[in-house]
Amino acid sequence: MSNQQPAVSKAFQTFMKEAPKHAEAWMATVQGLDDASALDKKTEHLAYLAVLAALRLEGGVPFHTQLAKQSGASREEVISAILIGLPAAGNGVTQVLPIALQAYDAARA
């Protein structure tokens, strides 16, 4: 595993800088939900990628792809996580695939 920090989107960086109290509250909620999860980290990151793809939220895809890779997810598992939503969410999930693969290939394991 690498100590390389995943890249946070510019939008999220702006949120943290310009609204620090909101960001602090948000991160406390995120940490609480993370602590409550029964999923292992790899599964959690892959599931999160599936949700981002289904909602077509491209901004978080590189960050969460890097986390998935650091947690041991293979390139094929990332692809499968993104495409799992095809039946329910439609082919719009494919729009995040190139973003995820670029982030995966650029990230150190």
pLDDT tens-digit readout, 18-45 = 999 999 999 999 999 999 999 999 999 9
pLDDT at 109: 62
Q: State the DSSP H helix or E strand holding residue 66, giving kind and residue range, or none if neither.
A: helix 61-70
pLDDT at position 14 over 90: yes
pLDDT in tens, 71-88: 999 999 999 999 999 999
CA dist 6 → 65, 72, 78, 84 (Å): 9, 14, 16, 24
Look at residue 4 in the predicted model and tell me its pLDDT: 63
Give this prediction's pTM: 0.85
